[in-house]
């Protein structure tokens, strides 16, 4: 049951990372905010891995071509997912942006059933339906007749990318065959390092002023990287122990942390319909895990 505390810790750190990212997104481009998530995380991942091998015995990993394929795919789609979430912050408020991206849990359950032999029972499919209704509610706060297509599609795309990330991360971790802490640490280091390299090259070529913008906001950039590292550490470790559907269902507790941050820090008010939508996402995810 060690996956439970790791998941709760990851959800808590991720809610703060998202809050800091929203704050940074007011002055920095989406790509820059995404880079802030990784830029200081790689050294932390190296230190963590060294400490693991210093205090615990484990063999050196064997990296196969299939492992690197999962790493590359997970790295690319997580970058896309983060950029889409930052776009959500600009389309809706903080809590709703995170809420829409949490369609990840439902999408991961569907993809798991289709491609990873994790078949769903009728109760689980009910959870998928409830999650879909929740997304509809949050994308249409005023009326069912007024469909916010940009918000809806961006939220679904972000959730899809996050779901693919978690599924491929788990597959990569299982391929290493190491103790769960070590396998998760290796995957974390590989993913974060590749993401940092990709974003640094891209931003240096396309938008070098973004690097200056991050340099002028060192505390906020560092806070995002630290929260991102510990959040990813929690997620990757939990998913090396348990299936994605289980981890992401419990991870819905992040919504509660998000609501508190949204109300206390950003002074954002949520409508009754918003709250119902968030609640339904939790109910839908619970149906998936109970099934």
pLDDT of res. 266 = 63
Task: For the chain, list residues with pLDDT below 70.
Answer: 92-99, 117-120, 135-136, 138-148, 265-270, 288-289, 291
The whole-model pTM stands at 0.82
Q: Which two tokens stand for residue 3?
A: 């996956």
pLDDT of res. 66 = 95
Q: Which string of b and e fits 180-207 if b means at least 16 CB within 10 Å?
A: bbbbbbbbbbbbbbbbbebbeeebeeee
pLDDT of res. 268 = 65
Q: Which of 285, 281, 283 minimizes the C-alpha distance to 246?
A: 285
Q: Which two tokens stand for residue 170?
A: 């788990």
Quote the CA–CA distance of 130 and 239 in Å, as a whole number.
24
pLDDT of res. 115 = 80
pLDDT of res. 98 = 65
Quote the CA–CA distance of 171 and 179 in Å, as a whole number.
15
Q: Which two tokens stand for residue 58?
A: 């484990």
Quote the CA–CA distance of 116 and 171 in Å, as a whole number.
10
pLDDT of res. 256 = 74
pLDDT of res. 136 = 66
Contact 217, 28 (CB under 8 A): yes
Domain containing residue 183: 3-290
pLDDT of res. 67 = 96
Class of residue 85 by CB neighbours under 10 A (exposed 0-12, middle 13-18, buried 19+): buried
Q: How many domains does the chain have?
A: 1
The rounded Cα 166 to chain-centroid distance in angstroms is 8
pLDDT of res. 44 = 95
């Amino acid at each position: 049951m060690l996956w439970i505390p790791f998941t709760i810790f990851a959800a808590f750190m991720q809610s703060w990372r998202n809050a800091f990212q929203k704050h940074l997104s007011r002055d920095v481009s989406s790509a820059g905010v995404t880079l802030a998530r990784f830029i200081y995380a790689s050294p932390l991942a190296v230190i963590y891995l060294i400490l693991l091998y210093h205090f615990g015995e484990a063999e050196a990993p064997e990296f196969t071509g299939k492992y690197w394929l999962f790493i590359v795919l997970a790295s690319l789609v997580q970058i896309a997912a983060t950029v889409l979430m930052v776009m959500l912050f600009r389309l809706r408020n903080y809590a709703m942006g995170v809420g829409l991206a949490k369609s990840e849990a439902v999408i991961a359950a569907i993809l798991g059933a289709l491609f990873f032999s994790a078949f769903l029972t009728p109760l689980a499919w009910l959870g998928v339906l409830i999650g879909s209704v929740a997304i509809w509610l949050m994308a249409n706060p005023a009326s069912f007749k007024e469909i916010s297509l940009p918000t809806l599609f961006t939220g679904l795309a972000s959730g899809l990318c996050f779901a693919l990330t978690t599924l491929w991360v788990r597959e990569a971790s299982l391929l290493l065959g190491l103790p769960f802490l070590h396998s998760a640490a290796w995957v974390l280091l590989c993913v974060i390092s590749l993401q940092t390299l990709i974003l640094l090259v891209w931003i240096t070529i396309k938008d070098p002023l973004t690097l200056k913008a991050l340099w002028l906001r060192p505390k906020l950039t560092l806070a995002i990287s630290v929260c991102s590292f510990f959040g990813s550490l929690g997620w990757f470790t939990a998913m090396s122990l348990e299936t994605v559907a289980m981890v992401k269902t419990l991870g819905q507790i992040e919504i509660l942390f998000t609501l508190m941050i949204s109300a206390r820090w950003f002074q954002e008010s949520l409508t009754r319909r918003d709250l119902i939508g968030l609640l339904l996402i939790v109910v839908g995810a619970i149906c998936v895990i109970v099934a």
